[in-house]
Structure 1
Amino acid sequence: MATINTPQARYSTGAIILHWLIAIAVIVNWRLAEAAEHLEGPAAAAYMNPHKALGITVLVLTAIRIAWRLMNPPPPMDPNYATWERMLAKTVHAIFYILLISIPLLGWIATSSFGRGIDMFGVFELFALPVANDPEAGKWVIGIHKALWTPMMILIILHILGALKHQFIDKNGELGRMIPGFGKR
């Protein structure tokens, strides 16, 4: 049984790498979209093209992360966590996965609705999905895509606050489970 000041088992190296790659990609992608928000034409495309490619990268990395998690179960939670903390953690993670799949997928559907594929960083073009060429539907899907960023940001904040609470208030070494070199193992 875990006790205060005893670090919990760490996540696997693969889980840690995927976690941080996805986290960084999501933050960079959010900033790219924000930068393009009030631009038009080529200036907007300069931000939106990498935004779309990075979104597909997040989708692929999330699929890999889910497969990794199925093959490499996460370490157990601290047994001292309250039932509500366990439920909240599981719910936040489940919703994260749903959003990390649905947000980029909706972006791909929206782009496809305009009859376009996605330029993957100038290396190749990802095909358009087989959806109707319907710009009005594309605009509607983009609206949903954008609206899902609010719950994503709320989850990111909850996730960070939860980790900080466990690390600095509960003093259970939680951050050392996911941040390489943080705290004692």
Structure 2
Amino acid sequence: MNEISAKRYSTGAMIFHWVIAVLVIMNWQIAERAQSLDMPMKAEVFGYHKAWGILILALTLGRLLWRVTHRVPPLPANLARWEVMLARTVHVLFYVLLIGLPLGGWLANSLAGRSIDFFGLFTIPAIPVAENGELAGRIYGMHALGGSIFIYLIGLHILGALKHTFFDRNGGIFRMLPFGRVPD
């Protein structure tokens, strides 16, 4: 691996990152807009939200597999200790939410006695749990809260990437893009 590419994420990691990022933001917007709809349109739109969530889960599992089998570039040397800790904490929380939110949504659906239609291609069966509407409602609430926390973390992540790119000038966002300058 040459010196330039050693400072960037691999092409596979970049693809996983950007596809998942777009899908997460899109799926958040689907859920936000579905809230104001009336039935049966609301249920139909939330059906897409659920299917996209399952796809995000599958892609995240693929991304984790990719990550353990491919080298990750080191963080820039000019980061303060608190920045390193914050970056690592946010990334761990991203993975927790990228896995936990879809699983929580699937569990809540299962507790409500519903399966998940995956874009009309196949049905993801309910997890074999006893129906419990009250618990399903609480999990849906936690799912919504987790989604809100996720959006704030994404904002923090974007601000950090912009700070590192334009103020610290250490490559920031270009580490996750196939173009742009990543300095020595």
TMscore range, shorter length: over 0.9
The count of residues paired between Structure 1 and Structure 2 equals: 179
Provide the rounded CA distance (Å) in 1 between the counterparts of 2:116 and 2:61. 18
Q: Does 1:137 align with 2:145?
A: no
Deviation per CA, 1:113-162: give whole Å up to 9, x if none.
11111000010001110111112211111011011122211210110011
Kept after mapping to 2: 8 A contact 1:107/1:141: yes
Q: Does 1:119 align with 2:96?
A: no
Kept after mapping to 2: 8 A contact 1:113/1:137: yes
Q: State the structure with bigger RCO (CA 8 A, min sep 6), 1 or 2.
A: 1
Say which of 75, 78, 84 aligns to 2:76.
Answer: 78
Task: Give the structure 2 partner of residue 24 of structure 1.
Answer: 22
RMSD: 1.6
Q: Shift in Å at residue 30 of structure 1?
A: 0.5
Task: Give the structure 2 partner of residue 51 of structure 1.
Answer: 49
- In the superposition, the TM-score normalised over structure 1's length comes to 0.92
Provide the rounded CA distance (Å) in 2 between the counterparts of 1:157 and 1:8. 27
Q: Shift in Å at residue 8 of structure 1?
A: 7.1
Provide the rounded CA distance (Å) in 2 between the counterparts of 1:8 and 1:80. 17
In structure 1, stretches of 5+ residues that fail to align are: 1-5
- The percent of aligned pairs where both chains have the same amino acid is 49
- Alpha-carbon distance change, 9 to 175 in structure 1, aligned in 2, over 3 angstroms: same
Within 5 Å, give how 1:1-185 maps onto structure 2.
9-181=7-179, 183-184=180-181
Provide the rounded CA distance (Å) in 2 between the counterparts of 1:99 and 1:125. 23
Q: Shift in Å at residue 180 of structure 1?
A: 2.9
Provide the rounded CA distance (Å) in 1 between the counterparts of 2:44 and 2:8. 39
Provide the rounded CA distance (Å) in 2 between the counterparts of 1:62 and 1:121. 19
